Every structure is written in C-alpha cells, then in structure tokens.
Amino acid sequence: MIRPLALAALTAAATLTATALIAAGPAHAAIPGDELVWSDSIGLTSATSRINSVSCPSGKQLIGARAYTRGAPRDTLITALIPTATAAVALAREDEDGTEREWTVTVEAVCALPVPGHQIVVQHSETNSTNKQVRATCPTGKKLLTAGWNTQGEGQVWVNQVAFAFDVTSVAVTGMEDPDGYAGNWRLSTYAVCADPLPGQTVRTATSVTDQSDKMFDVRCESHQRWLSAGWSFIGAGGVTPAGQVSPNLWAQGTSWFQLNAWEDDDGFMHDWYAVGRAVCVDRA
C-alpha cells in the first residue's frame, strides 16, 4: 500500500523515465513534433493504490496529460494528475469500500518541440474537510494546454468536475467528499499548463443522456485537431449531485477524440444525472 504522498514527492516522481510507445505527428503540424507517449505498464494488482509516470523524449515539452485506470472502474479513482514541464505523474486509489479485483493505472503525455511561453500555474485551496473548487488561470495573453490536480483525499475525495473556460484561459477543478464524508483535512491543488495561443485552440463539449445509468459517449475535436486534455462535470437532476459516487474513465481514444465513461460506484446513485465531457483541442496541420 502506498502511504499518502506529499506534493513534492509526487512531482519528483514525474521525472522518472518511462519506456515509451510513440505515435508521431505529421511533418507540418501546427504543434511541431507532436507525439503521444504512454507510461510503462505496471501490471494488474489488488493493491489499494498505484502510482505511474511518463516522461517526454529529450528536447520536448509536455503539452497534454491524462490518466485512467483499468480493471475496477467502479472502485478506483485518479486522485492526482500532476504535470511538469516534461512529464506527468498520476496517483490512483481504491475508494473507501475497496475492491478485490486487480487493476492498474496508465498515464499518457502529449509531447512536442518547445512551444512559446510554456508555463505551469498551480493554485492551492485551504486545508480543511469541506468540498472545494480551485481555479488555475493562465497569465494574460496565454492559453490553457492541459490540466491536473491533487486532492490528497486518500480515495474519499472525488474529482466531480474539471471545467475549462470557454476562452481556454483557465481550468476549475471541484473536489467532493464521498457520501459519508472524509474525516481528515485535505487540500485541493489545480494545475494549468499554459503557453502562447496555438492555432485552432478551443474547448469542445458533449453531453450525455439524463438517466440513472452509467454514461459512455464521445467527446470530439475537429478531425484535423489533436485533443490535449479531458474534462467533465457530473450533474444530478433536481439539484442532487452524485458527489463521490461517479468516477470518470477514458476509453477508445483517438487523436482527435476520446470516449468518456462515467461509472457509478457499487452502491449506485438513486437519482437521474448527466455528464458533460470537455476537450481542449488544437490544430495539428
């Protein structure tokens, strides 16, 4: 079992070198030298927490990051996705009920030759035991490439929302305790990877049906674009929010689109709800 990790330790872990599978971009890309890099496989296990990381090839910067679990989608959540200039690290945990199933975590990075104005902004909340939202805003004149977070909630604080501003200048992350609460104090940190504007940089959204079931739907950029960051919101009908009861996962990913899977936990959510999926998109050519 991995004990609670300090922010500094997680960030340091992002410098680990991962063996990469690389899909190169076109020769005349608007984001020069773009490529998708996967973390090493760490195999399936029944451990209560997992950590994994990925690094960009030498001479390239991180412009996109995402993480997801496989094996126990109703019982696992990404509690931290921390980007650095050239790497990303993710921490995943089982929820409070846990699971006997084996599972793993994968981290992906979109890397490119240096883009002008590359900068990481981080904002922290107060440390307490209440639900909270933290927004990280890019400096004036810069736009958001990708986002990250750290809840420090030991599997009992769920990321209910990752919302990109429609002008692509900021990201707001909402952390919410599970239904029976979390006795410990926790701090939410939100990360924004920013740079000078890139061609076609925009936010695309898609919305699921409203019902009491799991949600699976596509979030698509234009066909000539690459998606850099995934976001979501889980919204309950009648003002009842499925806090700590719905976990996001990414699936069937393409260069310009991904499938957002939103899984209810083992107890389910006894109200209608819907999901909003979001993607930060930029032109590739």
DSSP string, 135-175: EEEPPTT-EEEEEEEE---TTSEEEEEEEE-TTSSEEEEEE
- Residue 7 has a pLDDT of 42
4: pLDDT confidence band, cut at 50, 70 and 90? very low
Q: Over pLDDT 70: what percentage of the chain?
A: 89
Mean confidence (pLDDT) of the chain: 90
pLDDT at position 16: 42
Task: Determine the pLDDT at residue 190.
Answer: 98
Give the model confidence (pLDDT) of 209-219 as tens digits: 999 999 999 99
Contacts of 140 (CB under 8 A, 6+ apart): none
Show the tokens assigned to 107. Answer: 């981290």
Q: What is the pLDDT of residue 126?
A: 97
SS3 of 12, please?
Answer: helix
Report residue 217 as tokens: 């739907």
Residue 148 · residue 88 · CB < 8 Å: yes
pLDDT digits (tens, 9 = 90+) for 174-197: 999 998 889 899 999 999 999 999
Give the confidence band of 253 by pLDDT, cuts at 50, 70, 90. Answer: confident
Residue of 227, 64, 244 lying closest to 151 (CA atoms) = 244
pLDDT-based confidence at 17, cuts 50/70/90?
Answer: very low
What is the rounded average pLDDT of the residues 128-140? 97
What DSSP designation does 18 have? Answer: -
Q: What is the pLDDT of residue 173?
A: 98
Residue 122 pLDDT > 50: yes
Nearest residue to 94 (alpha-carbon basis) of 158, 15, 180 = 158
What's the pTM value of the predicted model, to 2 decimals? 0.89
* pLDDT-wise least confident of 50-54, 55-59, 268-272: 268-272
Give the β-pairing of 273-283 and 202-207.
antiparallel
Q: How far is CA 94 from CA 6, 104, 212, in A?
A: 18, 11, 23
Question: Residue 90's pLDDT is what?
Answer: 98
- Which of the following CATH numbers is that of domain 7-283: 3.40.50.1000, 2.60.120.690, 1.10.150.20, 3.40.50.150? 2.60.120.690
Torsion, Cα of 78, 249, 85, 280 (10° steps): -140
Of 7-21, 106-120, 185-199, the poorest mean pLDDT is in 7-21
Q: What is the mean pLDDT of residues 265-274?
A: 91
Q: What are the residue ranges spanned by the domains of the chain?
A: 7-283
What does the alpha-carbon distance between residue 182 and residue 162 come to, in Å, rounded to a whole number? 21
pLDDT class of 13 with cuts at 50, 70, 90: very low
Q: Which of the four pLDDT bands, split at 50, 70 and 90, describes residue 67?
A: very high
Across the range 74-91, mean pLDDT stands at 97
Q: Which of 208, 215, 206, 204 is nearest to 264 (CA)?
A: 215
List, as one string, the DSSP characters of 204-273: EEEE---BSS-EEEEEE--TTEEEEEEEEEEEEGGG---TTTEEEEEES--SSEEEEEEEE-TT--SS-E
Return d(Cα 47, Cα 94) in angstroms, integer: 8
Nearest to 39 by CA among 58, 64, 63, 22: 22
DSSP 89-108: EEEEEE-TT--SS-BEEEEE
- CA dihedral sign of residues 130, 203, 63, 222: positive
| Per-residue pLDDT at 153 | 86
More confident residue, 165 or 284: 165
* pLDDT score recorded for residue 243: 84
179 touches 244 (CB < 8 A): yes
| β-sheet bridge partners, residue 81 | 90, 149
Model pLDDT, residue 263:
95
The tally of CA atoms less than 13 A away on the side-chain side of residue 116 is 7
Q: Mind listing the pLDDT tens digit for each residue in 202-249? A: 999 999 999 999 999 999 999 999 999 999 999 998 888 898 899 999
